[in-house]
Amino acid sequence: MKNSVGCYADKTLKTTRSPVKMLMGYIYKDFNMSSKPLSFPIPFEVQAPTCPVITDKSVLDAIGNTPLIRIHNIGKEYKNVDIYAKAEWKNSGGSVKSRPALKMIEDGEKSGKLTKDKIILDSTSGNTGISYALIGKVKGYKVKLVMPANVCKERKGLMADFYGAEIVTSSPFEGSDGAIIMAREIYEKDPDKYFMPDQYNNDSNWKAHYETTAKEIWKQTSSRVTHFLAGIGTGGTIMGTSRGLRSFNPDIKCYAVEPAESLHGLEGLKHMETSIIPGIYKENELDGKISVPTEESYDMVETLEKQEGILVGHSSAAAMLGALKLAAKIESGVIVTVFPDSCERCYVNFGHFNKYYQNDTSHKIPQAD
């Protein structure tokens, strides 16, 4: 019997000892089943679909093909400019870094450099480490990650407690550069023990975006994209996506977004003049850089939430701020940027989020009687 959602009733369904649990026309069955079968035909509200709810696909198959979001309200004053953002938190692993992390690991497997007896080792400011840890868990590799000690507890918790990675902390005052140096020192002491993707110098990083992100943007904008910009961390997103988009249209303008200050609070982004330059970052290929202040980026987190209903992290807000600065300089065009992650991993403890939950008593969780 076919129901209104186009699925057929499963005649092997048995009743549960507790009442049938309903949600949007689907049945959720307890593991504790009785032996009494349902009689047929049965009304729709207790029919179970035979549409597959369990597949043999890996969680890694959900990396890529993220939505492209139209920014409707912010920047309305730029009448002839459309702004879009890739919602990269929709990747498995929760960020844009899942794309290069997967490609670097799989390319390591193909080359024979990564084998089951080796530990995946790299430096990270958080997102790449979470992706490494997730992929390592799925594929059966041990993972060791070096990060600044001030990386937030939520990210550390995901990497270590949830995905089982080993964490080594470097000086918080040296930022991502300190983590890079420490990871190299660990590797050099015992190179046979580790596979080090070295995300800052690995061509597989930018190629992940060349092969996926750029193609998705080109298709999702129906070939209309005229400008692209992304924050600089490793340089993989901006370099790979720019090269990929220009393979479709060489006239597309591409810009990197960086913190305006050498000492900044935009986790994951690099101020290039005062940082170790990633080997994969080639600034001469770009049309320019856009500098964004930390405080303005923090304010943009709140603006995106209030005006667009989008909850993102600081680096995403920095990209949005960069897009607005670019929109102010052009007469018309279609600007696409990348929102690397959402606000769910540690950003809720910072700035406006933290102040909101400390001071706004109307949003406290009610206590049970």
- 84-101 average pLDDT score: 96
CATH number at residue 141: 3.40.50.1100
Please check whether residues 258 and 270 belong to one and the same domain.
yes
Q: Give the CA angle between residues 43, 48, 52 to the nearest 5°.
A: 155
> Considering 175, 195, 215, which residue would you say is the last residue of a domain?
195
| Domain assignment present for 356 | no
| Domain assignment present for 368 | no
Q: Is residue 12 pLDDT above 50, yes or no?
A: no
Active site residue 111: no
Smallest CA-to-CA distance from 177 within 123, 139, 136 is with: 123
Contact by Cβ (8 Å): 321, 292 = yes
From the list 97, 103, 207, 215, the catalytic residue is 97
Q: Give the alpha-carbon dihedral of 138, 139, 140, 142, to 10 degrees.
A: -90
- 92-109 average pLDDT score: 97
From the list 176, 315, 316, 342, the catalytic residue is 315
Summarize pLDDT for 28-74 with one digit per residue, the tens: 333 343 444 444 443 434 343 444 455 566 899 999 999 999 999 99
Burial class (CB in 10 A: 0-12, 13-18, 19+), 16: middle
| Domain assignment present for 354 | no
Please check whether residues 88 and 222 belong to one and the same domain.
yes
Looking at the chain, list the stretches that DSSP marks H as alpha helix, in order from N- to C-terminal side: 98-111, 127-139, 153-156, 175-189, 203-208, 214-220, 236-248, 294-308, 314-327, 351-359
Q: Is residue 346 pLDDT above 70, yes or no?
A: no
Q: What is the pLDDT of residue 345?
A: 55
Please check whether residues 33 and 66 belong to one and the same domain.
no
| Domain assignment present for 230 | yes
> Considering 195, 226, 245, which residue would you say is the last residue of a domain?
195
Q: What is the pLDDT of residue 17?
A: 36
Alpha-carbon distances of 143 from 58, 130, 179, rounded to whole Å: 19, 10, 15
Q: Is residue 347 pLDDT above 90, yes or no?
A: no
Q: What is the pLDDT of residue 175?
A: 86
> Considering 176, 195, 214, which residue would you say is the last residue of a domain?
195
Please check whether residues 162 and 26 belong to one and the same domain.
no
Please check whether residues 49 and 66 belong to one and the same domain.
no
Q: What is the pLDDT of residue 150?
A: 85
| Domain assignment present for 127 | yes
Q: Is residue 76 pLDDT above 70, yes or no?
A: yes
Q: What is the pLDDT of residue 55?
A: 52
Please check whether residues 212 and 274 belong to one and the same domain.
yes
Q: Which domain holds residue 296?
A: 61-94+203-348
Active site residue 315: yes
Please check whether residues 211 and 233 belong to one and the same domain.
yes
| Domain assignment present for 27 | yes
**Stretch among 10-19, 115-124, 328-337, 360-369 having the lowest mean pLDDT:** 10-19
| Domain assignment present for 355 | no
Please check whether residues 173 and 208 belong to one and the same domain.
no
Q: Is residue 122 pLDDT above 70, yes or no?
A: yes
Please check whether residues 151 and 218 belong to one and the same domain.
no
Q: What is the pLDDT of residue 105?
A: 98
Taking phi over 0 as left and psi of -120 to 50 as alpha, with beta for the rest, 228 belongs to beta
Summarize pLDDT for 147-161 with one digit per residue, the tens: 999 888 888 888 998
Q: What is the pLDDT of residue 243?
A: 98
Q: Is residue 259 pLDDT above 50, yes or no?
A: yes
- 296-313 average pLDDT score: 95
Please check whether residues 145 and 293 belong to one and the same domain.
no
Q: Is residue 353 pLDDT above 60, yes or no?
A: no
| Domain assignment present for 363 | no
Q: What is the pLDDT of residue 310?
A: 94
Round to whole Å and give the CA distance between 313 and 106.
28
Summarize pLDDT for 316-340 with one digit per residue, the tens: 999 999 999 999 999 999 999 999 9
Please check whether residues 158 and 102 belong to one and the same domain.
yes
Instruction: Compute the mean pLDDT over every residue in the chain, rounded to the nearest whole number.
Output: 83
Round to whole Å and give the CA distance between 320 and 302.
12
- What is the percentage of the chain residues whose pLDDT exceeds 70? 78
* Pair type for strands 26-28 and 21-23: antiparallel
Which residue did the predictor score with more confidence, 321 or 11?
A: 321
pLDDT band at 215 (very low <50, low <70, confident <90, very high): very high
Smallest CA-to-CA distance from 71 within 310, 343, 290 is with: 310
Number of domains into which the chain is organized: 3
Summarize pLDDT for 236-253 with one digit per residue, the tens: 999 999 999 999 999 999
Summarize pLDDT for 294-304 with one digit per residue, the tens: 999 999 999 99
Round to whole Å and give the CA distance between 281 and 234.
7
Q: What is the pLDDT of residue 276?
A: 92
Please check whether residues 338 and 307 belong to one and the same domain.
yes
